Structure 1
Amino acid sequence: MHRYRPLSFIGLSLLFFIITSCSSTKVVSNWRKPDTEGLKLHKVLVLAMTPNTDFRKRVEDKLSETLEQNGISAQGSLAFFGEEMDTLPQTMEDWLPHIQHLEQENFDSVLITKIVGQEGKDSKSAIVRYYNEFFGSFKEDIMKNKDLYSEEEGFKDYYIHRVASNLYCICEQNKEEDLIWKLNVDIKQAFDSDYLVQEGLRLFSKQFIEDLKEEDIFVTSK
Structure 2
Amino acid sequence: MKPKVISILFLLLMSCSSTKLVSTWKNPEIVLFDAYKVLVVGMAQDENVRVDFETRLVQKFSDNGVEAMRSIDLFDVEFTSSEKSEDELTEVEQQLLDKGFDAILFTKVVGTENRRTFRERMNNIDAMFTRFSSDYLEHQDIYYDPGYYETFNLYHVETSLYCICVGKERELIWRGNLEVMEPANMDKAIDTYLKLITGAMSEQDVIF
TM-score range relative to shorter protein: 0.5 to 0.7
Is the counterpart of residue 31 in structure 1 residue 25 in structure 2?
Answer: yes
Aligned mates of 1:59, 1:22 — CA distance in 2: 15
Is it true that 1:161 corresponds to 2:121 in the alignment? no
Query: How far apart are the structure 1 equivalents of 2:110 and 2:152?
Result: 9
Q: Residue in 2 aligned with 1:213? A: 202
What residue number does 1:203 align with?
192
Question: How does 1:70-219 map onto structure 2 within 5 Å?
Answer: 70-83=64-77, 85-87=79-81, 90-115=84-109, 118-120=112-114, 158-171=152-165, 173-174=167-168, 178-190=171-183, 196-218=185-207
The whole-number CA distance in structure 2 between the counterparts of 1:22 and 1:73 is: 27
CA distance in 1, matches of 2:167, 2:43: 22
The letter for the 2-side match of 1:23 is: S
Residue 106 of structure 1 aligns to a residue whose secondary structure is coil
Q: Is the 8 A contact 2:16 2:188 kept in 1?
A: no
CA distance in 2, matches of 1:99, 1:46: 14
- The amino acid that maps onto 1:46 is V
1:48 Cα deviation from its structure 2 partner: 1.0
Conserved 8 A contact 1:118-1:158: no
Pair 1:92–1:106, CA change in 2 (3 A): same
> Does the 8 A contact of 1:53 with 1:86 survive in 2?
no
Unpaired runs of 5+ in structure 1?
1-19, 122-156
Which residue of structure 2 aligns with residue 67 of structure 1? 61
Question: 2: CA distance between counterparts of 1:99 and 1:21?
Answer: 35
> Which consecutive unaligned segments of at least 5 residues does structure 2 have?
1-13, 116-150
- Tell me the SS of whatever aligns to 1:119: strand
Task: Using the aligned pairs only, state the percent identity.
Answer: 29
Number of corresponding residues: 160
User: How many Å separate the matches in 2 of 1:112 and 1:173?
Assistant: 20
Task: Report the residue type matching 1:188 in the other structure.
Answer: M
- Measured against aligned partners, the alpha-carbon deviations of 1:129-185 in whole angstroms (never above 9, x if no partner) come to xxxxxxxxxxxxxxxxxxxxxxxxxxxx8543322101000115446x710000011
Secondary structure of 2:65's counterpart equals coil
Whether the 8 Å contact between 1:187 and 1:204 is mirrored in structure 2 is: no
**1:117 positional shift:** 5.6
Instruction: Report if the CA contact (8 A) 2:111-2:157 is conserved.
Output: no
Maintained 8 Å contact 2:15/2:186: no
Q: Contact between 1:109 and 1:171, CA under 8 Å: does it hold in 2?
A: yes
Larger strand share, 1 or 2: 2
Look up the match of 1:125.
none
State the Cα distance separating 1:88 from its structure 2 match. 5.3
1:83 Cα offset (Å): 4.4
Q: 3-state SS of the aligned residue for 1:95?
A: helix
